[in-house]
Structure 1
């Protein structure tokens, strides 16, 4: 069994300003680096005695988060997968949420010129997860090693939706009105549990913008969603 743990990158200045990033390459700010170090410490305790594989989107905010995690774990730096990039938001990238709502109305990415569609994002996310797990198994067989993938909120959200049969994330968990409360905790880590905890348990644990999927890799590769246990804590851009 391969465990795939998905971590959203730490905060950037655009996150703090509630500005839409998408595929725009914005680096972590100091708060984001602090969040990444806190996550790294938690993951180092969680994976003590193990050597997880660390992979990442190639965008700077995810890559630096992954580098900080890999250093704390004492494992090689992240292998970069462009397929793990955030959703492209087209002409909306760089806008604040307020500017977006004024120009486009409802927060619906499908009405934004040049933005990546939801079906395309879902297919890309699932394909990327399959490739990450397949590569880890190929390079480390017969040993089964956990994989930590640092990515982005919209992509992680689609993986959760796929794995849960579109029952998670809970309605409203990715809405722009809640981004302000989550951005300061975007890289908080928690243990991967075989049983999805209740949202109230998640809140008490302080897990706000990280998602973890524990899965049987063979089943995932065949697209059998029911074989994945899902733990969801949120999703932003």
Structure 2
């Protein structure tokens, strides 16, 4: 089993700011969301806990781990959030679609983000075969990765939300430029 968890809320999430690689810490609600995720995951049997190297993901993983009696096994650079480059910190709410599209052209391409997320999950699954794994990462990389793997678009993943994924789906994925382009227009 593979559980993907989005980190808890930060003040930038609450404000609607693009975070990307900017290392913004969890706020009090984010810590509670991490605790809630840990509580919900306690119904299962988990062997390994990994996360993105960004502090908000690491802290979320550590809170979850404290609920489950797991230590963070490693941080996985491929699970970093989408790099929004020069537009990190921008609030998109209230902008018209053409302006948003123009700004987003500066960010790491969505297909690259999804491909990186899948590669990171495949590496984790190969490192810890036959183990039940929790991977804590970020909203956009999780959403884009799931969109490619499931072939259906998902608009959003909530802070602290857990999505279970069949490891065979991840391991069986082979890079397909057409599938990436369709899932990440």
User: What TM-score range do you get, normalising by the shorter chain?
Assistant: 0.7 to 0.9
Q: Which residue matches 1:92?
A: 87
TM superposition score normalised by structure 2: 0.85
Given candidates 112, 121, 125, the residue that maps to 1:129 is 121
**Long gaps (5+) in structure 1:** 138-143, 175-181, 188-208, 226-237
Residue pair 1:89, 1:109 contacting (<8 A) in 2 also? no
2:149 aligned with 1:163, yes or no? yes
Separation of aligned partners in 1, 2:52 and 2:68? 18
Matches within 5 A, 1:108-187: 110-112=104-106, 115-137=107-129, 144-165=130-151, 167-169=152-154, 173-174=155-156, 186-187=159-160
- Aligned-residue CA RMSD in angstroms? 2.3
Q: Which residue matches 1:82?
A: 77
Separation of aligned partners in 2, 1:210 and 1:31? 16
Separation of aligned partners in 2, 1:52 and 1:108? 43
Task: Give deviations 1:208-230, integer Å, cap 9, x for gaps.
Answer: x44321232xx5324169xxxxx
Residue pair 1:40, 1:73 contacting (<8 A) in 2 also? yes
- Cα distance change of structure 1 residues 24 and 213 upon mapping to structure 2, 3 Å threshold: same
Separation of aligned partners in 2, 1:78 and 1:66? 10
1:102 Cα offset (Å): 6.7
Where 1:31 maps in the other structure, the secondary structure is helix
Given candidates 32, 38, 42, the residue that maps to 2:30 is 32
Separation of aligned partners in 1, 2:115 and 2:136? 18
TM superposition score normalised by structure 1: 0.67
Q: Which residue matches 1:215?
A: 167
Higher-Rg structure is 1
Task: Give deviations 1:112-143, integer Å, cap 9, x for gaps.
Answer: 2xx21122112111110100101112xxxxxx
Where 2:86 maps in the other structure, the secondary structure is helix
